[in-house]
Amino acid sequence: MNEPKSVLIIDDDILYVKAIQTLLESSGYKVRSASNSRDGIELAKALQPDLILLDVMMSERTEGFFVLQELRRIPALSRTPVIVLSSIYSEEPIFRVDPEAGWLPANLFLAKPVDPARLLTEAERLTSGSLEEKGAPAAGRKQV
């Protein structure tokens, strides 16, 4: 068997984290979490996870966006797949951002609550195969 893939969840809603953690663990992922930006960035540096799930609204601000920019500035994390999970996008039925949109270097945006099957499919896709297939954005891509 392969080494289990590791996922880091950065989200200040501890209850929400538990739900996602349970889901991911049921599919064999090793999950760690951080409930604020600073811990999230530190933990990401230390763990070098295979995937990061990132919330946007933390401490009543859009801190997630800054975390994302910050992560991309760290060489070891500049190409780590990141899924932005946020309830600020609850556009029905599915919120999608063009991977080429470039305004934020995330690999994927998903609306909370996320469909379990969808999340697991995307997690699987983003943690396997070559980086090119993931549409991993280059660090420091120009903002639109």
Partner 1 sequence: MAATPVSARENTVFVIDDDEIIRLSCEQILKKSGYHVETFANGHVGIERLKEVRPPLLVVDIKMPELDGFEVIRIVRKIDPDVVIVVITGYATIETAVDAMKMGAYDFLPKPFTPGELRMIIERGFERWRLAREAQLLRHEKEQVERKFVTLVSHQLKSPLVAVKQYLDTLLYTSGAQLPGESAEWISRSQERISEMLKLIQDWLMLSKLDRGALTDRGVSSDIGKIAENIVREYQQLPSAAHVKLSAEIAPGLAQATGDGVSLAMLVRNLVSNAVKYNKPGGEVKVTASGNGQWITLKVSDTGIGISSLHRARLFEEFYRVISPETQNIPGTGLGLVICKRILDELGGFIDVDSKEGEYTTFTVRLPIASPIKEAEYADAVGK
Q: Enter the tokens of residue 69.
A: 């920019």
Shortest gap between Cβ of 22 and partner 1 (angstroms)? 5
Pairing of strands 51-54, 108-111: unpaired
Does 143 sit near partner 1 (CB under 8 A)? no
CB of 120 or CB of 139, closer to partner 1: 120
- Residue 129: strand, helix, or coil: coil
Of 43, 66, 70, 116, which lies in the binding site for partner 1, with binding defined by CB under 8 A? 116
Q: How many CB atoms lie within 10 A of CB 39?
A: 12
CA distance 128 to 121: 11
CB of 101 or CB of 131, closer to partner 1: 101
Which residues face 62 on adjacent strands?
Answer: 58
Contact footprint for partner 1 (CB under 8 A): 13, 15-16, 18-20, 22-23, 26, 57, 60, 87-88, 90-94, 96-98, 100-101, 112-117, 144
